[in-house]
Structures are given as structure tokens and as C-alpha cells.
Amino acid sequence: MVNKVVVKINGVEYTLMGEDSEDYLFSIANFVDKKIKEILSSNPKHNTTSSAVLTALTVTDEMFKLKKEMEKLRQSTVVPTEKLREAEERYRALYEEFKRVVDENNSAKSKLEEVVLKEREYSEGINRLKADYEEKIKEYEALLKENAYLRERNEEVERELKETKEMLSSVKEQLLESQIELVRVKKDLKDFKELQSKKRSV
């Protein structure tokens, strides 16, 4: 929408048209009117034309200075913007590194937990083997004691058997001697009976 306003600059009316607001157009006119009046008051010898030219030069000078200042400001913001971009890239890189370290840490933690679990299982297995070994040692020691007792008992039985054999051998000898003596006694008894019988017959 095009706005149209009538303004007065240095006592002369002008028609301004533009897409900007009416307030903006009036403010432009007031600014130019003020500049012309400042130039005329500073030097009354200036006429309307010269004061208008000087106003145009003054406004143009201020515009160029403002443009230059804006360029300086723009340049001054380039470095911070570049640094900000570098900082953001550095932040992203550091964040990615942080995530990588966290992932590696979690992975290492999981592996450590697996190692600890395996170590615990290994330790429990060792303890079981140790307990079994100690139990086998006890059984072996018990078998050694039993074997020693059986060996001792076997020696004792062998000794008793030997003594029994010797006693049986002695008994056999005594029995044989007794049998021989019995035979001799029987013979003597028979001879004695025969002798008595002969005496009776005489």
C-alpha cells in the first residue's frame, strides 16, 4: 500500500509518497526541515537553494559516515561470528569426543564387569577344586591310616598264624611221640600179659 502525505519543509509544501508509514514519511520531512533551518540560522547569507544543497550534502555525509560505521560494525561482528562458528564446531567435536569416551567407558565397564564375573566364577571354581582336593587328601590320609592298620593287622595275623603252625607242628610231634609211646605201652602190656599167662600155665 502506497501512503501519500503533504509535508512542509522550510515553509514550502511537498507531497511525499511511499510504502512506509505516514509517521515515517513525516519524520523524514521533519529531519530535512530541521537541517535546512540549522544551516540557515548558522549563516543567514544562504538562500533556499544553497541551504537545500548544503542540507543534501550534510545528510549524504551523515549517511556515508553511518554506512561506514555500519560496515565497521559488520566487520567487527564477522570475527566474533567466525569465532562463534569455530566454537560451535569445537563444541560439536568435543561433544562427539565426549560421547565416544562415554561409549568406550561403558564398553570398558561392561568388559570389566564380565572379567569380574569370570574372575568370581574362576575363584569359586578354584575354591571348589581346593575343597575337593582337601577332601581327597583327607580320604587319602584315612586310607593310609587304614592301610597301615591293615598291614599291622596282617603282620599280627601272620605272626599268630606262624605261632599256630609252630604250635600245631609241636602238637603233631607230641601226638606222634604219644602214639609211639602208646604202641610201645601196648606192646609191653601184651608182652606182660603173655608172660603172666605163661606163668600161670607152669
pLDDT digits (tens, 9 = 90+) for 52-82: 777 777 788 788 888 888 877 777 666 567 7
Q: What is the pTM of this model?
A: 0.35
How many alpha carbons lie under 13 Å from residue 26 in its C-beta half-sphere?
A: 5
Please compute the mean of the pLDDT values over residues 84-105 and round it to a whole number. 82
How many alpha carbons lie under 13 Å from residue 136 in its C-beta half-sphere?
A: 6
pLDDT digits (tens, 9 = 90+) for 126-174: 999 999 999 999 999 999 999 999 999 999 999 989 988 988 888 888 8
Angle, alpha carbons 124-128-129 (nearest 5°): 115
Per-residue pLDDT band at 107 (split at 50, 70, 90): confident
Higher per-residue confidence, 187 vs 50: 187
Single-letter amino acid, residue 50: S
Looking at residue 118, what is its pLDDT? 92
